[in-house]
Structure 1
Amino acid sequence: MEKHQIIEKLKEFYPTDISLDDIAAYANSEPYKKKKSYIDSAWSDRNQWDLLKASLSDLSTEIWDYSFMGGSPCYHFSFIQEENKEILYSLFVSVILPYYAIRIMNISNLDKSFDPISAIESRVFEKLENKVKNVFPKHRIIRDKALLQTKVDIFEADGEYPPSIQHLLFSTIET
């Protein structure tokens, strides 16, 4: 997966020539309208997402769902496992492009990774990845933290300027 390919596809959902300062023009742009329609559609039909969350009973008893918070274009949930309460797992599934990411965060020091480090993390990561593949078979995972954090200065988006690829695909919430 190439950075330039993702950026080209993002042009379908984020205007490149309109500032957020011009609220009316931005909201009336075709890319913004397309992104909003994808989010609205995913918001109203959450069957796949609910199916995925229901399949997590072997990973965690409590799932915190943050989907579409702040207008983000993704399904997003987090959970902690009983066997290791120091690690917070978060899943981000884009509804505008077929990508997802799994973030692993150490709660004690806030270190974040998109690739597992320990054996326990690897096991959870693999299970979660398989569950996502079953429900969202066309989505591909992005593990490359440098790719996710690549700044894209041709777009403006709420919360971060210039926005990163992870921000544009997944969330206005710090990922």
Structure 2
Amino acid sequence: MSDSPAAETSVRSIPFIDATGAEKTLDDLGADVVLVVNVASKCGLTPQYEQLEQLQRQYGDRGFSVVGFPCNQFLGQEPGSLEKILEFCSTTYGVTFPINEKIKVNGRNAAELYKALRQTPDSSGKAGRVEWNFEKFLVLRDGSVQRFRPAQKPDSPEIVDAIEAALTR
């Protein structure tokens, strides 16, 4: 895997485009620990926004941030413009964490950040494609990544424990 970009570059330094159109990296966010999530407004898992915002409020002042990437690759469940997505997140769930440009998470045209994140195996050892909306990647200070599948709620003990452990290192 040494010829893989992710092997040579920390996921924290891979550029993406934020909601204002500016190029950013996870390091630019100023957070030591980041939970990267592909989000959608019209999905059965959309209520996870509430738990993601709770995590942001609970741990944000300790060097943690949730980062959302809208994605329309799963049954067209994020069809709106970025402006509509931002409005939905703000008015429906009071989201304060960054929501970035709409991206693809799978396939040849996937965002570079997600190409790197997909190499991370989940707790059962399975890496590869993002399964659905609300797949979560916990990116630590050192660039290491832990992966949590969509059905695992953001406030599950496994995710909360991983965040707390990362913040106390």
The bucket for the TM-score relative to the shorter chain is 0.3 to 0.5
TM-score by length of 1: 0.32
User: Greater relative contact order (Cα 8 A, min sep 6): structure 1 or 2?
Assistant: 2
TM-score by length of 2: 0.33
Larger Rg: 1
